[in-house]
Chains A and B, each alone.
Chain A
Amino acid sequence: MNVWRLVIREIKHRKLNFAMGLLSVAVAVASLIGAQTLLTGDRLLTGQLLSAKETEVRTAVSEKQAAVEQAGKELQDVVRKQMLGLGFNVLILPKEQSLSEIHLNGSMSATMQEEYVDRLANSKIMTVNHLLPSVTRRVQWDEQDREIIIVGTRGEVPIQHRALKKPLLDEVAAGRIVVGHELHRQLDLSEGDTVQLKGRDFVVSKLHDERGSVDDVTVWINLAEAQEMLGMQNQINAILALECGCTGDRISQIRAEISEILPGTQVIERYSQAVTRAESRAKAKASAEKALADAEAFGAQQIAMEEKSRQEIEERHAGFAAILVPLVILGAVVTIGLLALMNSRQRSQEVGILRAIGLSTQQLMLVFLSKAALIGLLGGVAGVFGGLMVGRLLSDFEAGVIGWNELLETSQLSTLIVIAPVFALLLSGVASWVPALLAARQDPAVVLQGE
């Protein structure tokens, strides 16, 4: 016979008292563990949701960015094609060139040195891009019995101090000819066909789409061949250029700059639509960039809102736990104390006789505290499991994918799980201490005289 046997027999005899004690401890520990599970789950869920939101926003922004870049490229390409269609919008001509001749005949008779274009390319000019030297002449195409405009070009001359840009117009190679829309339509030409011009054979390298301008009755050949054909060696009629995205009085700025580099020239502006298109391209780009910035700001706002919402939930849960847990623990302490007191009262005769047959105060304390320890330990373990289940049930786990492993890996919760049964044991011991002491110090004479 020993204390443990006595304790176990008594527990079996007074099952309800033991069960009530166990339940009190389990509820106290479950509230503690449940609250911690809930708060840990909240934290993990917040992390997951914010991370998912950030990924979602990042993806959306990057898709937007890709779309913007793609649109930009497409727009640039379209503009480039349009610019090509419209032609260069700045024309640098010898000063003596009559504009009437250009507008009425589509031809130019005044010339300047081809070297001018190199001078311009080697200068620090800022207001124009894409320099294209050319000769332009209205001639009779005897072989086809019609009048045409011949343009000789050598391709774009890169401006030395600028980064190399994709040319608006490809160079026409020697022996090749590019044909305007009206001409190739009437002559039923195809790429690869050979045509004769001024007694020379040319292979058709490209056929232009309809542009609705003088370009439709123009052919483009290599500059050197054109100069030779027209007797204009080292001479050109014009330098075509594309103005930069200048602001303010653009043409005045261009004229001022060019007249310093190339004295004896005049500058005229053509096709202001091109400028408009360029401006609209810039506007579209700015608008796209703004849309991107808006998307980023919207994403950041959404993340902030999500964060705030989660923070509010976490604070609400933490506040609830801060009130509930101490109350439940206090309630459990009181309940366990009352149960222990009730138990010691119920057992007063038993305690009296045990004292009479020789059990010491410490041994009687051990009888009561062993039971309390058992209640604490078993209740603590049950409370841990119960708390985990309740915490999990109360948490909004469906919103994320939080497994037990993730929960239990958090140091706070895992530490609490280990500590909780010890805490429960102490809690039960402390609550039962005074009743146990009262019972153990009971005067056996009083009890035995009471019969």
Chain B
Amino acid sequence: MILRLEHVTKTYAGKSSLVHAVRDVSIGVDHGDFVVLQGPSGCGKTTALLMAGGLLSPDSGLVSVTEQNPYALTANERAAFRARTIGFVFQQFHLVPYLSVLDNVLAPCIAADVQDDSCGRADSLIERFGLAHRKSHLPGELSSGERQRTALARALLNKPPLLLADEPTGNLDQENAEAVLGHMKEFAESGGAVLLVTHDERAIPFAHRVVRLRDGQISDEMDRSSGGVN
């Protein structure tokens, strides 16, 4: 199993009361899985994704990525672990505004644990995502779809076993959304594991499994490969 969330819980202190963002959630994502975590705004999707990405430690429960608990590591070890293991894609793209497409894709190479041969893949990824003609352009000069494809290329540069995506199609039109989702599915089918957090219904046809969250809890789970609902 690439990713395991077992009974994870996260509670925030609100202004007047506690906010239970995630309650006793368990999700598993394995090689070849494209899992969509769906739910309305504020249901705890992003919190669950950040916990899965080693960016937010749960109050209780276990997080395991490639059979390793990232929260058992020091902050720097966890950063190196993330660099090796997880690729991130966000709704706001989070590209470095002063770096070209190529440099943004190469940004993970700054981290010491990234392999040199991975950095050599930048050009082929850019080509693959249809960004060759935009290689030297800054993010401000790109369309939303191009930005998100750049972010996806960056996330996949290091051949991570796990791809975590938070509303990657939220700012994209149909065509670009389908292109991005298609690339993610391709990644999953090539042996990677994808956990996509979204409320965008357009993602569902691409998913092998859909997990619905409501008020921080899993309300239902649908395995689309078999067509059943758990």
Q: Which of A192-210 contact B (CB under 8 A)?
A: none
Closest chain B CB from A328 CB (angstroms): 31
B90 proximity list for chain A (CB < 8 A): 353, 448, 451
Q: Is A144 an interface residue (CB 8 A)?
A: no
Q: Is B25 an interface residue (CB 8 A)?
A: no
Closest chain A CB from B39 CB (angstroms): 16
Closest chain A CB from B142 CB (angstroms): 16
> Can you list, as one digit per residue, whether each of A427-451 has a CB less than 8 Å from chain B (1) or not (0)?
0000000000000000011001101
Q: Is B185 an interface residue (CB 8 A)?
A: no
Q: Is B229 an interface residue (CB 8 A)?
A: no
CA distance A80 to B108 in the complex (A): 110
CA distance A5 to B106 in the complex (A): 11
> Can you list, as one digit per residue, whether each of B78-101 has a CB less than 8 Å from chain A (1) or not (0)?
011011100010111011111100
Q: For the side of the interface on A, what is the size category?
A: 20 to 34
B97 proximity list for chain A (CB < 8 A): 13, 350
Q: Which of B17-59 contact A (CB under 8 A)?
A: 46-47, 50, 53, 55-56
Q: Is B220 an interface residue (CB 8 A)?
A: no
> Can you list, as one digit per residue, whether each of A1-36 has a CB less than 8 Å from chain B (1) or not (0)?
111011001101110000000000000000000000
Is there an interface contact between A360 and B99, defined as CB atoms closer than 8 Å? no
Q: Is A189 an interface residue (CB 8 A)?
A: no
Closest chain B CB from A209 CB (angstroms): 108
CA distance A6 to B166 in the complex (A): 26
CA distance A46 to B114 in the complex (A): 64
CA distance A383 to B75 in the complex (A): 40
Q: Which of B93-126 contact A (CB under 8 A)?
A: 94-99, 103, 106-114, 119
Is there an interface contact between B98 and A359, defined as CB atoms closer than 8 Å? no
Is there an interface contact between B112 and A363, defined as CB atoms closer than 8 Å? yes
Q: Is A352 an interface residue (CB 8 A)?
A: yes
Is there an interface contact between A6 and B47, defined as CB atoms closer than 8 Å? no
CA distance A3 to B91 in the complex (A): 26
Partner of A445, one of B50, B92, B119, B155: B50
Identify which of A1, A5, A362, A363 gathers the most chain B CB atoms within 10 Å of its CB.
A1
Is there an interface contact between B107 and A356, defined as CB atoms closer than 8 Å? no
CA distance A336 to B97 in the complex (A): 23
B82 proximity list for chain A (CB < 8 A): 356-358
Q: Is B199 an interface residue (CB 8 A)?
A: no
Partner of A448, one of B50, B96, B112, B114: B50
Is there an interface contact between B50 and A449, defined as CB atoms closer than 8 Å? yes
Q: A5-B103, A6-B110, A357-B107 are in contact. Are A445 and B56 (CB under 8 A)?
A: yes
B97, closest chain A residue (CB): A13
Closest chain B CB from A50 CB (angstroms): 58
Is there an interface contact between A449 and B46, defined as CB atoms closer than 8 Å? yes
A4, closest chain B residue (CB): B110
Q: Is B4 an interface residue (CB 8 A)?
A: no
Q: Is A378 an interface residue (CB 8 A)?
A: no
Q: Is A354 an interface residue (CB 8 A)?
A: yes
Closest chain B CB from A8 CB (angstroms): 10
Partner of A360, one of B79, B84, B95, B96: B79
Is there an interface contact between A1 and B109, defined as CB atoms closer than 8 Å? yes
Partner of A359, one of B79, B95, B99: B79
Q: A9-B99, A10-B98 are in contact. Are A358 and B111 (CB under 8 A)?
A: yes
Is there an interface contact between B56 and A357, defined as CB atoms closer than 8 Å? no
Q: Is A349 an interface residue (CB 8 A)?
A: yes
Closest chain A CB from B106 CB (angstroms): 4
Is there an interface contact between B94 and A448, defined as CB atoms closer than 8 Å? yes
Is there an interface contact between B50 and A355, defined as CB atoms closer than 8 Å? no
> Can you list, as one digit per residue, whether each of A334-359 has a CB less than 8 Å from chain B (1) or not (0)?
00000000000000011011111111
Is there an interface contact between B94 and A359, defined as CB atoms closer than 8 Å? no
Closest chain A CB from B64 CB (angstroms): 18
Q: Is A361 an interface residue (CB 8 A)?
A: yes
A353, closest chain B residue (CB): B94
CA distance A308 to B92 in the complex (A): 71
Closest chain B CB from A329 CB (angstroms): 31
Binding site for A on B (CB under 8 A): 46-47, 50, 53, 55-56, 75-76, 79-80, 82-84, 88, 90-92, 94-99, 103, 106-114, 119, 154-155, 166
Given contacts A9-B98, A357-B111, 6 further A-B contacts (CB under 8 A): A2-B109, A350-B97, A353-B90, A355-B55, A358-B83, A360-B76
Q: Which 9 A-B pairs have the closest CB atoms?
A: A358-B83, A13-B98, A358-B111, A1-B106, A353-B94, A445-B56, A360-B76, A1-B109, A445-B55
Binding site for B on A (CB under 8 A): 1-3, 5-6, 9-10, 12-14, 349-350, 352-363, 444-445, 448-449, 451
